[in-house]
Amino acid sequence: MRITIVGAGFSGSALARELVGQAGPGVELCLVGIGESYGRGVAYGEARPEHLLNVRASELGATPDHPGGFADWLNLTDRARSSYLPRLLYGEYLHAQLQAALAGSAAAFNQIRQEAVAVERAASGLRIHLADGSDFLSDKVVLAVGALPPQPLAGVGPRLAIHSSYLGWPWQDGAIDAIDPDARLLIVGTGLTMADVVVTLHRRGHRGPIVALSRHGLLPRAHGEYPPPPIALPPTVLQALQTHAPRALSRALRSLMPVVDDWRSLVDALRPHLQAFWRGMPLAQRGSFLRHLRSYWEAARHRIAPQLAEELLRLREHGRLRIRAGRLVRARRGADSVDVLIRERGDDALLQERYDVLIRATGLDTDIERTTHPLIAHLRESGLVAADPLGLGLRASDRFEVLDAQGGAVRGLYAIGPLLRAQRWEITAVPELRQAARELAGELLATASIARAGAKPLAVAG
C-alpha cells in the first residue's frame, strides 16, 4: 500500500509521523512539499523572528498523548513552559520530530521536495503530477495543503492590483521591508495576520500612521498571564450543544458569563464539543453564524500572546495604530497615492481617503471555488472535489474522504486541515490537527492491503 501526503506543513507532517509510527513494512509512504516550509509549515517555517506563537509552549507537543513535547524538547523550566516562544523555533521542533520519526520507521518513506500540481484517477489508484513534469502512482492520497493563497481584495482596481503600493500578501519576497517608514498605511483585516504585520513594522521603526479596518473592528483578545482554571460546562450548555441549538447555546453562555472567573475558561471548555456541534448544525444556521457571530467568536477563540497585546495597546494609545470598523468599497491607484472609499460600520456615507500603501491581512482563506492554488483548482475543475457552499473548503465525509461534484466519495482521496472546516469547523489549531492526524492515520492503515507488500518501490517518472 502506497500512501502519499500532499503538503508538508503541520497537518501533513503530523499525519506522516502518525503513519510511520503505526505502519508496518508493507506500507510505503511519500510526503510531498516545497521550500523552507517542508516539515515545518508556512506559519512556522517562513515566520519572522518577532512572530510569536499564540499558544503556551507547554501545550504544543506534536502528538495528542504528549502535549508537553515541545517544552520537553527545549528542556524548559516550569516558568518558561508557560511562555510564548518564536514560531521559527516551533518550526525547527516540528522538522526535528519528523526526521526522528522517519529514522525509526519500519515503513519505506520518500521525501519529495516538489510542488504537486494535479491529482487524477488512474486504472489503479491515483496519479500525482509534479511541477517538474514527473508523475507517480499512489493507492491513497491525502490533501494536506493548509490554507489557500490569499485572493485579491474586493474593490481593488486593476492598476493598483499590480502596483507595489498594494501588498496582497505582506510576507511575499520581502515586500514589507520596502515600505517607507513614514508611509501612511491602510491594513484590511484586524486579526492575527494584522497583528503580525504591525509588530514587524514596529520592529523596523515604522513612524507613519497605520489604520486597520475590518467589518467589526475587533482585535484578537489576549491570553491571560496564567492559564485559566478549567471548568465543567453546566447541563444547560451541554444540552444546547447536544441538540445543536445555536440560540439556546448563546443564551446559556450569556447567563454563565457573570459567574465565570475567567471567560477564557469557558471558551476553552467549549472546544472539545465544537466539532460535533458544528456537524449537527443545518447549513442555514452555519451561514447565520458566519455572518453575525464569526468575528466575535474568532476574536475570543484565537488569542494572542500577552506581550503582543500590550504592544498593540501602546501603539494605539500613542496614536500610531487606529482600529476601525467598516468596509473597503473601492481602492485605486491615484497619481501619487492609493485612493480609497470606506464605509464605516453603521454609516451610509462613503469616506474618501488617501494612503501610501494598502495591505491585505484578512487571514485564513479556504474558498476553493475561487482559489488560484494550482492543485486545488485542477481538482475542482475536474470534478474530483466539490466546494462547500459557504466557502469553508471542500466537501468530505466524517472519515476524511473527499466527495466529488456528484457527492460520491472519491476512492483513495482524503483531506486534513483547514480545508475540512465545512465538516469540523475547529480544525486549524494544533490540538485539533494532531488528533485528526491520529484518526486519519488509523483510517488509512485500517484499509491498507498487506498483500501489496511486494509492490515496486516508488519511481518518479520524468
Which residue is it, cell 466539532? 275
* % of the chain with per-residue pLDDT over 90: 82
- Which of 22-26, 29-33, 108-112, 319-323 shows the lowest per-residue confidence on average (mean pLDDT)? 22-26
Q: Return the amino acid letter for 132.
A: D
pLDDT given for residue 341 in this prediction: 97
Q: Which of 103, 318, 39, 295 is nearest to 192 (CA)?
A: 295
Give the lowest-confidence range in 111-115, 156-160, 246-250, 309-313: 246-250
Q: Which three cell numbers stand for residue 451?
A: 498483500
Grid cell at residue 278? 458544528
What pLDDT score does 106 carry? 73
Per-residue pLDDT at 96 exceeds 60: yes
State the average pLDDT over residues 222-227: 91
Phi then psi dihedrals of residue 180, to 5 deg: -60, 135
* Residue 294 DSSP SS3: helix
The residue behind cell 519511481 is 459
Average model confidence (pLDDT) across the chain: 92
Amino acid identity at 81: R
Domains and CATH numbers, the chain: 2-149+366-452 (3.50.50.60), 158-221+303-360 (3.50.50.60), 238-287 (no CATH)
Q: Quick one: residue 455, left, alpha or beta (phi over 0 = left, psi -120 to 50 = alpha)?
A: beta
Taking Cα atoms as reference points, which of 117, 5, 18, 2 lies closest to residue 65?
18
Percentage of the chain with pLDDT > 70? Answer: 97
- Three-state secondary-structure class, residue 9: coil
Strands, sheet with 409-415, edge to edge from the N-terminal-most edge strand? 108-112, 28-32, 2-6, 140-143, 409-415, 401-403
pLDDT of residue 462 exceeding 70: no
3 state SS of 126: strand
Closest CA to 33 of 109, 147, 130, 138: 130
330 vs 150 pLDDT, higher one = 330
Q: What is the pLDDT of residues 359-390, one digit of tens each?
A: 999 978 999 999 999 999 999 999 999 999 99
Rounded CA separation 382/120 (Å): 8
14: closest CA among 47, 44, 41, 36? 41
C-alpha cell read off for 314: 501602546
pLDDT at site 448: 63
Q: How would you classify the pairing of strands 185-188 and 210-214?
A: parallel
Question: Per DSSP, what are the bridge partners of residue 283?
Answer: none
pLDDT value at 86 more than 90? yes
pLDDT at residue 104, rounded to an integer: 76
For residue 458, pLDDT beyond 70:
no
Instruction: Determine the pLDDT at residue 246.
Output: 86
pLDDT at 460: 47
Question: Mind listing the pLDDT tens digit for each residue in 442-457?
Answer: 999 987 644 344 445 4
Beta strands 2-6 and 401-403 are unpaired
Residue 173, H or E segment: none
